[in-house]
């Protein structure tokens, strides 16, 4: 990990949250990582986000608002309009990835994630690259 | 021109024109027949009339002749005439004789004694030859009539002898009537449409007052006159036109006095009345024929319109409406004739079309429903498979990565045995993940739900490099060399980048897995509109019978089974994916001598371009 990005991760699966927490906070020791459960949780903590995230990771299969709706919501906020937003999902079939691209995500990382390549991929996305990593 | 015009004009116009033409021809023909008949009829009638008239005139002339003779006889028996002739003194008788003669219509009176000395005479000039002869005949006691010329005027004269008491001829009386216009009018019974003339010695003596034009003017007249003098009756069969443009019929006959032909009698009939009659008849005929033709024309027109034109027009309109899509349109059947049969055939054809179209529409609807069902079913399958993928991958994420955290010591120290076991867990989980991927891919292919994410400008050089790196990682610890003989600038390809990489990974990792020693060579070159990639290994090779199974789903070769890995789905999936790109995948191998796998990608597949659009 080259730098210390501010990361926001929204995910409704507790195991995935735990996993990412262990990776980002534990292993990569990033100081500003916020992990929220869903859109409600996001609304409650949105204003408290300081500094604003450099990158946002979004689960797709969430309720009540799914990843696409969250993306749309975020894009309407001044601070998030230019922020890289990446889908982190286990749905990696072509038609689903196609929907992600059309919706305006900056990339997609598939579950299961690859612990070894994850930091480097994150760096590349922060450098402005768009990555559609859907195959192991 | 005319033919062109007729081709363009409507049926009713053509039939009507034909009808009018026929009517005109009939009228002309009728008129011709009537005219010819009338002419010959007129000729015949005029000839008969002239003949009859000439007989009448001859008779009438005879009557006048007798009257003249009787007048002479009456005068010859006037009391005191004998004495007057014998004494030569006629002074006392002269006035009474002349008065009596005048009352008898006599113009000339001539009384002579036996010596030829005139006792009473209205004549001033000397007697001509004919009169002298008549006087001579009277003096010998022959009562005679004849034509004489006196004072340059033609006269009809009669000579009668005068006898004394002893019965001796002592003189004679000659009475004469001047043949002038009045005479001829009298002879002609004063008619105006019928003219008469008397011709004496080839010259016109007198003609009836209404005649106008003179007889004996033309050459034909001259010839007729000569013939009449010889005793023949001649009647013109040519309708000579007179000055009033009115045709006449002219006849010439000998005029006999006693038994001698002494002059020529000429008659002329004016045919104006008859012609007027004919003209009236002709007009009437024309009107009648015209009216009949009009009735016939109208009837035929109506018949044609009702039975031909209107049904045909209706048929035309109906067929246009049918063609326009109104399939309920039918033409009306108004008769049993050919037109009616045509209309019935047309209607039954329309019925057939309607029925067939309905059947076709039903079939189309069924097909459409079946297609919609299939699409729905595909969508359901796709959704199910997507959901399966998601639901299976999510727990594996936890299994694999939590285990990794333990192995990597993030949760505290682990001993070697634990590390080895946990590494087995990760490997098994990854294998399970691969199995899941393959099964889902195969299911998609078999469900026809495989969707490619098509992009332009895919670099095969980059894909090959990445796949070769993966292959290399599989050869760690094996005496196998991986070589690449790839052209530097392979063309950029249109396709699904991820799927193409999947195909390449499949055949390269297959070769690396099964080769225990020797080398694996990756080659790629462009050939026409394709890029052909081959992967050759020095592995065990594939037997003929196994080659058939390599590309069949859920079947693994004996070697594959011995190697104990994979699902047996890799090759069938790779081949299906290559074919979905419009490409091919095949192998060449001999058991024990390694294997060559080939994949060919079209540079630009029509099917993929269509998907992208």
Listed by start position, the domains of chain B span 77-178, 365-451, 452-612
Tokens encoding A124: 């590349």
Q: Is the pLDDT of residue B602 over 50?
A: yes
Q: Is the pLDDT of residue A134 over 60?
A: no
Give the separation between CA A124 and CA A121, rounded to whole angstroms. 5
Q: What residues of A are in contact with residue B401 (Cβ under 8 Å)?
A: 19, 23, 112-113, 115
Pairing of strands B153-163, B169-178: antiparallel
Task: Name residues whose C-beta falls within 8 Å of residue A47's C-beta, 6 or more positions apart in sequence.
Answer: none
User: Chain B closest CA to A136's CA: distance in Å?
Assistant: 9
Q: Tell me what the mean pLDDT of segment B40-45 comes to.
A: 76
B381 in contact with chain A, both atoms CB, cutoff 8 A: no
Q: What are phi and psi of B336, to 5 degrees?
A: -105, 0
Choose, out of A29, A87, A90, the residue to mutate when testing the contact with B (most B CBs < 10 Å): A90
Over the stretch B462-485, which tens digit does the pLDDT of each residue have? Answer: 999 989 998 998 898 999 999 999
Collapsing DSSP to helix, strand or coil, B393 comes out as helix
B437 in contact with chain A, both atoms CB, cutoff 8 A: yes
Helix pair angle (A94-103, A67-75), 10° resolution: 10
Give the separation between CA B221 and CA B236, rounded to whole angstroms. 9
Can you name the CATH fold of B77-178?
Beta-Lactamase (3.30.450)
Q: What are phi and psi of B543, to 5 degrees?
A: -70, 160
The confidence band for A133, taking pLDDT boundaries of 50, 70 and 90, is low
For residue B261, the tally of other CB atoms under 10 A from its CB is 15
| Residue B73 CA neighbour count, 13 Å, CB half | 10
Give the H or E element holding residue B253: strand B247-257
Q: Is the pLDDT of residue B133 over 60?
A: yes
Give the separation between CA B509 and CA B141, rounded to whole angstroms. 180
Closest among B587, B586, B585, B578 to B605, alpha carbons compared:
B578
Task: Name residues whose C-beta falls within 8 Å of residue A104's C-beta, 6 or more positions apart in sequence.
Answer: A71, A75
Q: Where are the beta strands (DSSP E) in A7-104?
A: 7-10, 33-36, 55-58, 85-89
Q: Does the distance separating the beta carbons of B437 and A94 come in below 8 Å?
A: no
The confidence band for A136, taking pLDDT boundaries of 50, 70 and 90, is very low
Give the separation between CA B549 and CA B571, rounded to whole angstroms. 10
Q: What residues of B are in contact with residue A134 (Cβ under 8 Å)?
A: 498
What's the total number of domains in chain A? 1
Task: Name residues whose C-beta falls within 8 Å of residue A106's C-beta, 6 or more positions apart in sequence.
Answer: A84, A85, A86, A125, A130
Give the separation between CA B347 and CA B335, rounded to whole angstroms. 14
Whether the ω angle into residue B501 lies within 30 degrees of 0, i.e. cis, is: no
Collapsing DSSP to helix, strand or coil, B596 comes out as strand
- Output the pLDDT for position A49: 86
Q: Which residue has the higher pLDDT, B600 or B107?
A: B600
Contact between B507 and B520 under an 8 Å Cβ cutoff? The reply is no
Contact between B119 and B112 under an 8 Å Cβ cutoff? The reply is yes
- Asked if residue A2 is part of any domain, the answer here is no
Helix pair angle (A14-21, B338-407), 10° resolution: 50
Task: Name residues whose C-beta falls within 8 Å of residue B177's C-beta, 6 or more positions apart in sequence.
Answer: B64, B68, B105, B106, B107, B108, B155, B156, B157, B183
Give the separation between CA B102 and CA B98, rounded to whole angstroms. 6
What is the average pLDDT value for chain B, to the nearest integer? 84
For every residue of B219-252, DSSP letters joined together read HHHHHHHHHHHTT--EE--S-EE-TTS-EEEEEE
Nearest CA in chain A to B406: A22
Over the stretch B87-100, which tens digit does the pLDDT of each residue have? Answer: 877 777 888 888 88
User: Chain B closest CA to A16's CA: distance in Å?
Assistant: 7
Q: Tell me what the mean pLDDT of segment A29-48 comes to.
A: 89
In this chain, the answer to whether the domains covering B77-178 and B452-612 adopt an identical fold is no
- Asked if residue A106 is part of any domain, the answer here is yes
Collapsing DSSP to helix, strand or coil, B195 comes out as strand
> Which residue do the tokens 């079209």 mark?
B602
Give the separation between CA B580 and CA B452, rounded to whole angstroms. 8
Collapsing DSSP to helix, strand or coil, B175 comes out as strand
Pairing of strands B480-486, B455-458: unpaired
Beta-ladder partners of A34: A8
Q: Does the distance separating the beta carbons of B401 and A112 come in below 8 Å?
A: yes
Over the stretch B317-352, which tens digit does the pLDDT of each residue have? Answer: 999 998 888 888 888 888 888 888 888 898 999 899
Give the separation between CA B13 and CA B25, rounded to whole angstroms. 18
- Output the pLDDT for position B545: 83
A63 Ramachandran zone, left/alpha/beta (phi>0; psi -120 to 50): beta
Domain membership of residue A43 as a residue range: 7-133
Tokens encoding B279: 């003209």
Over the stretch B221-261, which tens digit does the pLDDT of each residue have? Answer: 888 888 888 888 888 765 555 555 666 778 889 988 877 88
Q: Tell me what the mean pLDDT of segment B263-286 comes to.
A: 78
Q: Does the distance separating the beta carbons of B397 and A111 come in below 8 Å?
A: yes
Tokens encoding B151: 């004072």
Rounded-to-10 torsion of CA B5, B6, B10, B16: 120
For residue A14, the tally of other CB atoms under 10 A from its CB is 10
User: Chain A closest CA to B573's CA: distance in Å?
Assistant: 15
Give the separation between CA B146 and CA B152, rounded to whole angstroms. 16
> Which residue do the tokens 């939590």 mark?
B402
Tokens encoding B159: 């000579």
Closest among A128, A134, A127, A125 to A57, alpha carbons compared:
A125
Q: Among positive and negative, which fits the CA dihedral B474, B475, B477, B478?
A: positive
Q: Does the distance separating the beta carbons of B501 and A113 come in below 8 Å?
A: no
Decide yes or no: CATH 3.40.710.10 for domain B452-612.
Answer: no
- Output the pLDDT for position B576: 92
- Asked if residue A20 is part of any domain, the answer here is yes
End-to-end CA distance of chain A: 21
Q: Does the distance separating the beta carbons of B451 and A95 come in below 8 Å?
A: yes
CATH classification code of B365-451: 1.10.287.130
- Output the pLDDT for position B403: 94
Closest among B239, B290, B237, B282 to B33, alpha carbons compared:
B282
Closest among A82, A130, B380, B466 to A74, alpha carbons compared:
A82
Q: What residues of A are in contact with residue B410 (Cβ under 8 Å)?
A: 22, 26-27
For residue A105, the tally of other CB atoms under 10 A from its CB is 23
- Asked if residue A1 is part of any domain, the answer here is no
Residue A80 is given by DSSP the state G
- Output the pLDDT for position B531: 94
Q: What residues of A are in contact with residue B458 (Cβ under 8 Å)?
A: none
Give the separation between CA B53 and CA B60, rounded to whole angstroms. 10
Beta-ladder partners of B261: B256
B451 in contact with chain A, both atoms CB, cutoff 8 A: yes
- CATH code of residue A78: 3.40.50.2300
- Asked if residue A128 is part of any domain, the answer here is yes
Over the stretch A52-75, which tens digit does the pLDDT of each residue have? Answer: 999 999 999 988 899 999 999 999
Over the stretch B417-457, which tens digit does the pLDDT of each residue have? Answer: 999 999 999 988 988 888 888 888 888 888 777 778 888 88
């Amino acid at each position: 990990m080259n730098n210390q990005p501010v990361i926001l991760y929204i995910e409704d699966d507790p195991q995935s949250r735990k996993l990412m927490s262990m990776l980002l906070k534990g292993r990569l020791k990033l100081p500003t990582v916020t992990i929220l459960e869903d859109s409600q949780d996001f609304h409650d903590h949105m204003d408290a986000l300081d500094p604003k995230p450099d990158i946002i990771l979004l689960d797709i299969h969430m309720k009540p608002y799914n990843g696409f709706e969250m993306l749309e919501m975020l894009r309407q906020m001044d601070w998030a309009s230019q922020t890289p937003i990446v889908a982190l999902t286990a749905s990696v079939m072509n038609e689903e990835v196609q929907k992600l691209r059309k919706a305006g995500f900056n990339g997609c990382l598939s579950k299961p994630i690859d612990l070894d390549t994850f930091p480097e991929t994150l760096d590349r996305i922060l450098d402005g690259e768009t990555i559609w990593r859907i195959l192991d | 021109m005319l033919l062109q015009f007729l081709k363009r004009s409507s049926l009713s116009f053509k039939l009507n024109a034909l009808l009018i033409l026929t009517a005109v021809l009939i009228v002309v023909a009728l008129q011709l027949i009537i005219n010819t008949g009338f002419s010959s009829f007129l000729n015949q009638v005029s000839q008969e009339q002239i003949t009859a008239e000439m007989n009448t005139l001859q008779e009438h002339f005879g009557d006048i002749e007798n009257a003249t003779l009787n007048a002479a006889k009456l005068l010859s028996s006037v009391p005191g005439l004998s004495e007057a002739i014998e004494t030569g003194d006629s002074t006392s008788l002269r006035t009474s004789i002349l008065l009596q003669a005048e009352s008898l219509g006599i113009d000339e009176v001539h009384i002579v004694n036996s010596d030829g000395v005139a006792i009473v005479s209205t004549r001033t000039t000397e007697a001509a030859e004919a009169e002298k002869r008549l006087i001579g005949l009277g003096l010998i006691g022959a009562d005679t009539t004849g034509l004489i010329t006196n004072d340059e005027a033609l006269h009809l004269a009669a000579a009668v002898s005068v006898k004394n008491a002893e019965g001796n001829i002592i003189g004679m009386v000659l009475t004469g009537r001047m043949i002038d216009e009045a005479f001829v009018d009298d002879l002609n019974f004063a008619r105006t449409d019928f003219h008469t003339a008397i011709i004496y010695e080839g010259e016109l003596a007198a003609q009836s007052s209404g005649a106008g034009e003179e007889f004996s003017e033309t050459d034909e007249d001259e010839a007729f006159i000569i013939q009449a003098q010889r005793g023949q009756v001649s009647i013109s069969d040519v309708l000579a036109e007179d000055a009033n443009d009115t045709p006449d019929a002219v006849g010439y006959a000998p005029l006999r006095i006693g038994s001698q032909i002494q002059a020529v009698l000429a008659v002329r009939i004016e045919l104006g009345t008859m012609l007027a009659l004919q003209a009236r008849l002709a007009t009437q005929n024309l009107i009648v024929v015209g009216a009949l033709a009009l009735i016939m024309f109208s009837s035929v027109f109506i018949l044609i319109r009702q039975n031909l034109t209107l049904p045909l027009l209706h048929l035309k309109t109906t067929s246009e409406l049918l063609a326009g899509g109104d399939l309920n349109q039918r033409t009306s059947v108004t008769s049993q004739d050919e037109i009616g049969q045509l209309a019935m055939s047309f209607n039954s054809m329309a019925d057939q079309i309607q029925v067939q179209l309905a059947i076709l529409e039903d079939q189309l609807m069924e097909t459409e429903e079946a297609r919609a069902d299939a699409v729905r079913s595909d969508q359901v399958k796709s959704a199910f498979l997507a959901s399966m993928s998601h639901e299976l991958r999510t727990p594996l994420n936890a299994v694999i990565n939590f285990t990794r955290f333990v192995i990597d010591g993030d949760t505290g120290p682990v001993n070697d045995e634990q590390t080895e076991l946990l590494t087995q867990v990760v490997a098994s989980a990854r294998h399970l993940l691969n199995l899941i991927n393959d099964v889902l891919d195969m299911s998609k292919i078999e469900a026809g739900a495989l969707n490619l994410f098509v992009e332009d400008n895919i670099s095969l050089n980059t894909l090959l490099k990445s796949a070769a790196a993966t292959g290399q990682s599989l050869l760690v610890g094996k005496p196998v060399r991986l070589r690449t003989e790839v052209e530097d600038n392979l063309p950029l390809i249109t396709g699904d980048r991820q799927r193409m990489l999947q195909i390449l990974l499949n055949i390269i990792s297959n070769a690396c897995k099964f080769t225990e020693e020797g080398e694996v060579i990756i080659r790629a070159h462009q050939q026409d509109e394709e890029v052909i990639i081959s992967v050759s290994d020095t592995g065990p090779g594939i037997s003929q019978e196994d080659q058939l199974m390599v590309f069949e789903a859920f079947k693994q070769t004996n070697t594959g089974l011995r190697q104990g890995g994979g699902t047996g789905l890799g090759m069938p999936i790779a081949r299906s994916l290559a074919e979905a790109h419009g490409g091919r995948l095949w192998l060449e191998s001999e058991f024990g001598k390694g294997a060559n796998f080939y994949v060919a990608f079209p540079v630009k597949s029509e099917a993929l371009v269509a998907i992208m659009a």
